[in-house]
């Protein structure tokens, strides 16, 4: 029997680079998702085919607990399979066919969508607690793919809900659903670039935050309030101090964003977040700054910022309802004039979290 599993991508409204600092984030799951069709496999192996890459990978079932990374897309699947086996789950011989509507490498988390959809398909009828599913996906990415990411992407791909954003406290993994503001649209603009230093810079940022926490004598930056930070900041070397200031202020912005209904205030928080990511956290780039600056000059735009890890990928834009078409046209033509590439624009609609698709 062929079964189909779906896991959504996500857009992060605010709370950037806070998750691996045990902080607050406010993402929502997207209608763009990864779909895995799972069919029986006559061979004693796990076979996967990616429609996007038009490539397959295959691993003998007996070898899965010992797999090593190959540094390509198959690692996300192999990593999840290895985590399942190590967690005591049984993997049946299956053929998985992967297709996705999440743009890849654009900061909308095609990686978590891939991990969670494959994990569901591979666990099949063995129940996995939702939180364990998210943690397993994160472990696959940290330990197998080798990116020291936080839990946000996998968590929201599992727990997303239609019409709502998800306030996640990465310290205790508690969640709260937050209604989206009315009268506005959330649009993501894809810069269509991903600069090569994205991965190494991400790793470096995690180290710089850990250094700041050490200087402050705390386990994570989450333990530090804005006022405590101001009195102790001098003890931290400048770069680590700037990173920490971003994280600590950003947590506060998430708190304010999640309780405000005023589009003007929400927009202002996005603008502040972008400025902080640009100057303090230094994860923006010319293309993203251009997209944000251009957006902010368009009538009906309340705010804009980079979303996701940075160094390319998407911006998100809070746009007054009715102004979407002109926004899209203006941003696209300006970006083409400046960079010679047409940026894709996606309307972000909050969708449900991952699960099996059952045909009626
Ligand atoms: P993001 O999560 O923001 O999209 P990442 O760099 O974290 O960007 O993850 C992108 C990687 O995930 C791709 O380079 C690829 O290895 C893998 N991936 C995502 N979608 C697919 C897919 N449909 N098929 C195969 N691999 C995919
Ligand atoms: Mg990713």
Cα gap 209→114, rounded to integer Å: 28
Cβ-based burial of 356 (10 A; exposed 0-12, middle 13-18, buried ≥19)? middle
Residue 35 has pLDDT above 80, yes or no: yes
**What pLDDT is stored for residue 185 in this prediction?**
98
- Average pLDDT, whole number, for the chain? 97
Torsion sign, CA atoms 45, 50, 54, 57: negative
Q: Are 48 and 147 in contact (CB under 8 A)?
A: no
pLDDT category, 197, cuts 50, 70, 90? confident
CA of 261 to the centre of ligand 1 (A): 34
Separation of 52 CA from ligand 1 center, angstroms? 10
pLDDT of residue 286 exceeding 90 = yes
Instruction: Report how far ligand 2's centroid is from the alpha carbon of 342 (Å).
Output: 22
pLDDT at 122 over 80: yes
For 288-330, the pLDDT digits (tens) are 999 999 999 999 999 999 999 999 999 999 999 999 999 999 9
In the chain, what percentage of residues exceed pLDDT 70? Answer: 100
pLDDT confidence bin for 221, thresholds 50/70/90:
very high
Residues 6+ apart with CB under 8 A from 36: 4, 5, 6, 96, 97, 98, 117, 118, 120, 121
Q: What is the mean pLDDT of residues 84-109?
A: 97
Which atom in ligand 1 lies closest to the alpha carbon of residue 112?
2
Q: Is the pLDDT of residue 205 over 70?
A: yes
Residue-level pLDDT at 360: 61
Helix (H) or strand (E) holding 96: strand 94-100
What is the distance in A from the centroid of ligand 2 to the CA of 97? Answer: 20
Interatomic CA distance for residues 353 and 30, integer angstroms: 9
Inform me whether the pLDDT recorded for 21 exceeds 90: yes
Cα separation of 100 and 114, whole Å? 8
- Residues with CB under 6 Å of ligand 1 are 34, 50, 52-53, 73, 76, 98, 100, 104-111, 114, 308
Domains of the chain: 3-179 (3.30.230.10), 184-347 (3.30.70.890)
Q: Considering only CA atoms, which of 297, 319, 295 is closest in space to residue 306?
A: 295
Q: What is the reported pTM?
A: 0.97
Closest C-alpha residue for ligand 1 atom 6 = 105
Task: Judge whether residue 359 has pLDDT over 80.
Answer: no
> Alpha-carbon distance 329 to 71, whole Å?
38
Say which of 19, 75, 125, 153 is annotated catalytic. 153
Q: Given ligand 1 and candidates 105, 113, 152, which is best to mutate, with the most ligand atoms within 8 Å of its CB?
A: 105
Instruction: Find the ligand nearest to 32 CA.
Output: 1
Select from 145, 89, 162 the least CA-distant residue to 119.
89
* Residue from 114, 149, 310 to probe ligand 1 pocket by mutation (most atoms less than 8 Å from CB): 114
Is 234 annotated in the active site?
no
Degrees to nearest 5, angle at CA 67 with 143 and 170: 20
Closest residue by Cα to atom 5, ligand 1, is 105
Q: Could you tell me the pLDDT band of residue 33, with boundaries at 50, 70 and 90?
A: very high
Average the pLDDT over 124-128 and give the result.
94
* pLDDT tens digit sequence for 141-195: 999 999 999 999 999 999 999 999 999 999 999 999 999 999 999 999 999 999 9
The helix (H) or strand (E) run that includes residue 82 is helix 74-86
Residues with a beta carbon under 5 angstroms from ion ligand 2:
109, 111
* DSSP SS3 for 314: strand
């Amino acid at each position: 029997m062929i079964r189909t599993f779906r896991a959504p991508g996500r857009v992060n409204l605010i709370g950037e680079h806070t998750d691996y600092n045990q902080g607050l984030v406010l993402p929502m799951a997207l209608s763009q998702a990864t779909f895995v069709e799972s069919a029986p496999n006559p061979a004693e192996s796990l076979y996967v085919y990616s429609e996007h890459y038009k490539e397959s990978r295959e691993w003998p079932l007996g070898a899965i607990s010992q797999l090593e990374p190959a540094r390509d897309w198959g690692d996300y699947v192999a990593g999840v399979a290895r985590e399942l086996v190590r967690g005591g789950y049984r993997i049946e011989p299956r053929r998985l066919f992967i297709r996705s509507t999440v743009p890849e490498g654009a900061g909308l988390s095609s990686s978590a969508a891939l991990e969670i959809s494959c994990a569901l398909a591979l666990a099949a009828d063995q129940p996995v607690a939702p939180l364990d599913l998210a943690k397993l996906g994160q472990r696959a990415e940290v330990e197998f793919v080798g990116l020291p990411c936080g839990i946000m992407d996998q968590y929201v791909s599992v727990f997303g809900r239609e019409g709502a954003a998800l306030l996640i406290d990465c310290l205790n993994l508690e969640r709260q659903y937050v209604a989206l503001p009315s009268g506005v649209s959330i649009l993501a603009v894809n810069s269509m670039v991903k600069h090569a230093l994205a991965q190494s810079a991400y790793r470096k940022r995690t180290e710089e935050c850990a250094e700041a926490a050490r200087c402050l004598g705390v386990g994570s930056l989450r333990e530090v309030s804005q006022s405590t930070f101001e009195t102790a900041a001098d003890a931290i070397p400048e770069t680590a101090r700037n990173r920490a200031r971003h994280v600590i202020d950003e947590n506060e912005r998430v708190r304010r964003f999640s309780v405000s209904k005023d589009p003007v205030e929400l927009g202002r928080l996005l603008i502040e977040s972008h400025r902080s990511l640009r100057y303090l956290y230094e994860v923006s780039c010319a293309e993203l700054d251009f997209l944000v600056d251009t957006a902010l000059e368009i009538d009906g735009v309340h705010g804009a910022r980079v979303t996701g890890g940075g160094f390319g990928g998407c911006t998100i834009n809070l746009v007054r309802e009715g102004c979407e078409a002109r926004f899209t046209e203006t941003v696209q033509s300006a970006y083409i004039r400046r960079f010679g590439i047409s940026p894709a624009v996606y309307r972000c609609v909050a969708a449900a979290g991952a699960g099996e698709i059952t045909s009626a």
